[in-house]
Structure formats: C-alpha cells, structure tokens
Structure 1
Amino acid sequence: MVCRSASATGGFVDKNGVSCTNGGGTVVLESHNNVYGPGGQGVYQDPTYGPILYYHYVDKTIGYADGDKRFGWNTINFSSGWPVV
C-alpha cells in the first residue's frame, strides 16, 4: 500500500485522496493468478531497467512449504504518477 504527499511532513493520501491515517492506501502488488501473498518488498534502482520492486511469494502451483517460496521482481512504472507493477 502506498500514499503520497506534496510535503515531506504530511498530508499523505492515496490515489482516491483518502488519508493514510484514516484507512487510505493504494495497492501496488497483491495476490494474483498463481502468486500468493507477495511480501517483504523492497526497491532497487537498476541501471538498465529503472526501479525494480522485489519480493517473496508462494507459487500456488508449487506448494506452501518454506522451501517452496519464490523470489519475484517487477519493474515499477510511474507514468501515471503512482507506482504500478
């Protein structure tokens, strides 16, 4: 979930203008298709691809055991002004 502000000191809102301190937040990445429970996200600035969102997840077609966890990454597009993967 992300929010943003024109000021570093606040007024953080989601894409719909809902305050982050009042239940707001815009989803960047969530479970979809075989990707279940993506978490542990971080951002890496790749010199070739630009910003990369990396995370771990469960592939529902493989299994849920600890040894079955996967590493995923997606480029982040900010053309709308919001992060989109």
Structure 2
Amino acid sequence: DGKLCTEGGGTIVLGSHGDVYGPGGQGVYDDPTHGPILYYHYVNTTIGYADGQKQFGWNKLDFSSGWPVTSA
C-alpha cells in the first residue's frame, strides 16, 4: 500500500490462488531476457498434497508501479 517495510508496511506478493496452494521457498532470478522472475514451489490442489507431488512455479515480477507485482 505504498508504505515501506521498514516502516511497518508490507503487501503479499504471491499467495494461494486457484489450484496454487501454499506457495513458498521463493527466490528471485534475474533472467537476461525476461527480467526478474519469482520462482517457488507449491501444491497443486488438483494433483494432491503428498510430498512427491509438489510443483515448481514461476512468475515475472513487474516493478512499474515501484513495488513488486507478479504477472503471467
């Protein structure tokens, strides 16, 4: 919401949505072609919740507003 994290602000960049449940273990890779990429693992609720069924996901990060926002 435009308030710095150092001043008590903060906004969720990526949370559960659709079939993506509990995304975590994230990192950022600066791809030379596509720019910053947020990568993470998650549970796909249509597949199942077992340990061997975790999925790898990624989304581009857009900073055009001055704050990170995930995009397709």
Instruction: Judge same fold: TM > 0.5, yes or no.
Output: yes
Rg (Cα) greater in structure: 1
* Residues 13-55 of structure 1: CA deviation (Å, up to 9, x unaligned): xx24375564x31110000000000000100000110000000
What residue number does 1:60 align with?
45
Q: Which one has the bigger strand percentage?
A: 2
Q: Provide runs of 4+ in structure 1 moved above 3 Å.
A: 18-22
* Structure 1 gaps, min length 5: 1-14
- Give the 3-state SS of the residue equivalent to 2:52 in structure 1: helix
Q: 1 or 2 for the larger relative contact order (CA 8 Å, sep ≥6)?
A: 2
State the partner residue of 2:58.
73
Structure 2 gaps of 5+ residues are none
Summarize the Cα distance change of 1:18–1:46 in structure 2 as closer, same or farther, 3 Å threshold: closer
d(CA) in 2 for partners of 1:77, 1:37:
21
TM-score scaled by structure 1? 0.75
Task: Please give the root-mean-square deviation of Cα atoms over the aligned residues, in Å.
Answer: 1.6
Which residue number corresponds to residue 25 of structure 1?
10
Percent identical among aligned pairs is: 69
Scaled by the length of structure 2, what TM-score is found? 0.88
Contact map agreement 2:40 2:58 (CA 8 A) in 1 = yes
